[in-house]
C-alpha cells in the first residue's frame, strides 16, 4: 500500500500540515511519487507529490463495511483494551464504547484521561489499515445506559442464546470483562430484548472475544462475506 496521509479536506491540491507534513518530510518523497490521502469522513484519494503539495489524480471508493459495528467493550487491563481498539478498527468498527460493568476491576482513575491516547491508537490503526473513516471512541458508559442502543448482541460463554436480528444495517456488540457478565446484567439484557450469542465451545479471553465477535459479524453481514 502507498504511504498514507490525513488531509481534512480533499481538494484538487492538498497541502499537509502538522504531524502529517513532518511525516511526509521524513519520508523524503520524490517529485511525482504517488501517495494515498484520506479525510477521516470516508473520502480517499490517490495524489501525486508536486512541489511540496499533493495533486489529487483519482478518487477511491470507500473501504467501510456495509454494516455499521459499534463495539461496547468492557474496560479491561489497559494494554489489552488498547489492543482491542487497534484490532477492532482494522476490522471496520464505527465506534468503540468503553463499558463500565459490574465486574470491571479497574478503578475509574486508571482510565480517566485516556481519551487522547485512545484516539491516537485509533487514528494510527485507520492509517495502517487503509480506512477512510476515523471511528469514535465514546465516553465510558454504564451497561444499563448502553442497553438503550439498537440491534444489540451480547456475547457470553454460558448464557442460553437468543436469536440475532436479521441482516441489520447497524449492530452493537457487547463484550464483558475478564470476570464475565453478572447475573443481573444477563437478566437485564434478556428483559431489554438483547440477542445473546456464544463464541464456540472454548472460553476466550475478553480481548480475543472482542476481535472474534467483530470478525464474525463482518463475515455474516459485512465485507468479509
85-134 residue pLDDT tens: 999 999 999 999 999 999 999 999 999 999 999 999 999 999 999 999 99
Do the domains 68-221 and 4-60 match in fold?
Answer: no
Task: Enter the pTM of the model.
Answer: 0.94
Write down the domain spans for the chain. 4-60, 68-221
Residues of the chain above pLDDT 70, percent? 100
User: Can you tell me which residue has the cell 517529485?
Assistant: 31
The interaxial angle of helices 78-91 and 206-221, nearest 10 deg, is: 10
pLDDT tens-digit readout, 193-219: 999 999 999 999 999 999 999 999 999
> For residue 193, is it left (φ>0), alpha (ψ between -120 and 50) or beta?
left
CATH number for 68-221 (one of 3.40.1280.10, 3.30.390.50, 2.130.10.10, 3.90.700.10): it is 3.40.1280.10
Number of Cβ atoms within 10 Å of the Cβ of 25: 11
Q: What is the mean pLDDT of residues 160-178?
A: 91
Closest CA to 5 of 137, 126, 135: 126
H-helix or E-strand spanning residue 60: strand 53-60
The domain 4-60: what is its CATH number?
2.40.240.20
Amino acid at each position: 500500500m502507498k504511504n498514507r496521509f490525513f488531509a481534512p479536506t480533499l481538494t484538487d491540491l492538498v497541502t499537509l500540515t502538522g504531524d502529517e507534513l513532518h511525516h511526509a518530510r521524513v519520508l523524503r518523497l520524490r517529485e511525482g511519487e504517488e501517495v494515498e490521502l484520506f479525510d477521516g469522513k470516508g473520502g480517499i484519494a490517490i495524489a501525486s507529490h508536486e512541489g511540496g503539495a499533493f495533486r489529487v489524480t483519482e478518487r477511491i471508493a470507500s473501504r467501510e463495511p456495509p454494516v455499521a459495528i459499534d463495539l461496547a467493550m468492557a474496560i479491561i487491563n489497559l494494554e489489552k483494551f488498547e489492543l482491542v481498539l487497534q484490532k477492532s478498527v482494522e476490522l471496520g468498527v464505527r465506534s468503540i464504547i468503553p463499558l463500565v460493568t459490574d465486574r470491571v476491576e479497574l478503578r475509574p482513575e486508571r482510565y480517566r484521561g485516556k481519551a487522547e491516547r485512545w484516539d491516537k491508537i485509533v487514528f494510527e490503526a485507520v492509517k495502517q489499515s487503509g480506512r477512510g473513516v476515523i471511528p469514535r471512541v465514546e465516553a465510558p458508559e454504564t451497561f444499563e445506559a448502553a442497553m438503550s442502543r439498537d440491534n444489540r448482541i451480547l456475547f457470553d460463554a454460558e448464557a442460553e442464546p437468543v436469536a440475532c436480528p436479521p441482516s441489520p444495517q447497524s449492530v452493537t456488540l457487547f463484550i464483558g470483562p475478564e470476570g464475565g457478565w453478572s447475573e443481573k446484567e444477563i437478566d437485564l439484557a434478556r428483559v431489554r430484548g438483547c440477542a445473546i450469542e456464544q463464541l464456540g465451545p472454548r472460553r476466550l479471553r475478553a480481548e480475543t472475544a472482542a476481535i472474534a465477535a467483530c470478525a464474525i459479524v463482518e463475515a455474516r453481514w459485512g465485507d468479509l462475506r
